[in-house]
Amino acid sequence: MRTLGAILKHPDDLYPLIKLKVAVMQAEKQIPPEPHWGFCYSMLHKVSRSFALVIQQLDTDLRDAICVFYLVLRALDTVEDDTNIATEVKVPILMAFHRHIYDREWHFACGTKDYKVLMDQFHHVSTAFLELGSSYQKVIEDITMRMGAGMAKFICKEVETTEDYDEYCHYVAGLVGLGLSNLFHASGKEDLAPDSVSNSMGLFLQKVNIIRDYLEDINEIPKSRMFWPRQIWSKYVNKLEDLKYKENSDKAVHCLNDMVTNALMHAEDCLKYMSALRDPAIFRFCAIPQIMAIGTLALCYNNIEVFRGVVKMRRGLTAKVIDRTKSMSDVYGAFFDFSCMLKSKVDDNDLNAKKTKSRLEDILKICRDSGTLNKRKSYILGSEPTFNPTMILIFVVMLAILLAYLSANRGNDM
């Protein structure tokens, strides 16, 4: 019912939602027949459907390399995230993970749900890794080694300063950006991007996730996971967990806005990185998550709900972004729209208002200077209903029939 209500409010989301659902179902039917590759791509769909969809558009060799790269790092992240693993057990595993990927027999029981399956059957990922070209293997091994060492460092170290924050985000996400740039280069499809902008691509996504996931991380059992830097939150409260209490709502929002302002510093580098990409499939692969990130920041800014539950983009808007992101002009348009949306929420009384507006103006200027804003339709903001409710219900019925038909065909194909 929540989805139907959203469609009634934003009827132009309906067509992209249908296209996305069909695309996901088609992608799921393209799972390779080999057991190890079948496991990898099936697992990819389970741990990240949107990522699985954009990765499917890449050429086979690069697609396989990025699929394995993603699953190796998800496995590494699962070890880091599992607060039930004792430090003396966890640290050696993180430090040695780059060697485990060469071992077809290695696995380790940890994580929950799909991530537990990934860890229990990690031998499938190792088998797939060993079939990749040596240039891809070297990149994956190097990034896994560096990331594991960085994660191990922060198991025993808290995020105190903003420099610590940037360092932690570099290890867990900036290195992903560097690894992807090297994989793109190894495929022969892209020039090697500078490390600084590759790093910013990862930091921007990671900082958005850390902001959005505050409540989930702080409520983690048996031990809270705390990634917000003390240098920022200590300006507002005595303990990081104090931000979730209603009596601290005003302080929490000011702290949140401070964190969002910090994340915005990476947006310019992200635009620079994406503007240099040549391959259309690689471009979409990189651009869609970045648009989702700036959109999520716009929703989180000045929003007390970050400390009460989950704040994320509605499914229809996500589908619209995936459907319509095809060129750099689309990226400039989306960054412009979401930056305007965020700027409209800035209260001049906020402690960081001046800095926030300055960073937003820098982003808006880049988008304006691109000369492409007047060539596109603003689909991010101000969606007014253009269909009446009866038409919406007809479309919903048609969608149900279509999905039933596709499901029946999928069953016949098995």
Task: Count other C-beta atoms under 10 Å from residue 80's C-beta.
Answer: 24
The shares of helix, strand and coil residues in the chain, as percent rounded to the nearest 5, are 75, 0, 25
The residues, any chain, with a CB within 8 Å of residue 5's CB and separated by 6 or more, are none
Question: Do 206 and 235 form a contact (C-beta atoms < 8 A)?
Answer: no
Question: Do 362 and 268 form a contact (C-beta atoms < 8 A)?
Answer: yes
Set 97, 129, 168, 184: catalytic member = 168
Half-sphere exposure of 278 (CA within 13 A, CB side): 9
Set 171, 184, 285, 335: catalytic member = 285
* Furthest-apart CA atoms within the chain: distance in Å: 62
Burial zone of 40 (CB within 10 Å; 0-12 exposed, 13-18 middle, 19+ buried): buried
Alpha helix stretches (DSSP H) within 29-86: 35-47, 49-55, 60-81
Active site residue 168: yes
Active site residue 301: no
Task: Name residue, tokens 């496991």.
Answer: 39
Set 74, 212, 314, 359: catalytic member = 212
Active site residue 285: yes
Q: Which amino acid is at 194?
A: P
Active site residue 225: yes
Question: Do 118 and 71 form a contact (C-beta atoms < 8 A)?
Answer: yes
Angle (CA) 303 306 312, round 5°: 90
Q: In 3D, which of 311, 332, 317 has the Cα closest to residue 376?
A: 332
Set 146, 225, 230, 315: catalytic member = 225
Q: How far apart are CA 63 and CA 131, in angstroms?
A: 13
Q: In 3D, which of 4, 2, 24 has the Cα closest to residue 407?
A: 24
Give me the active site residues, please: 168, 212, 225, 285
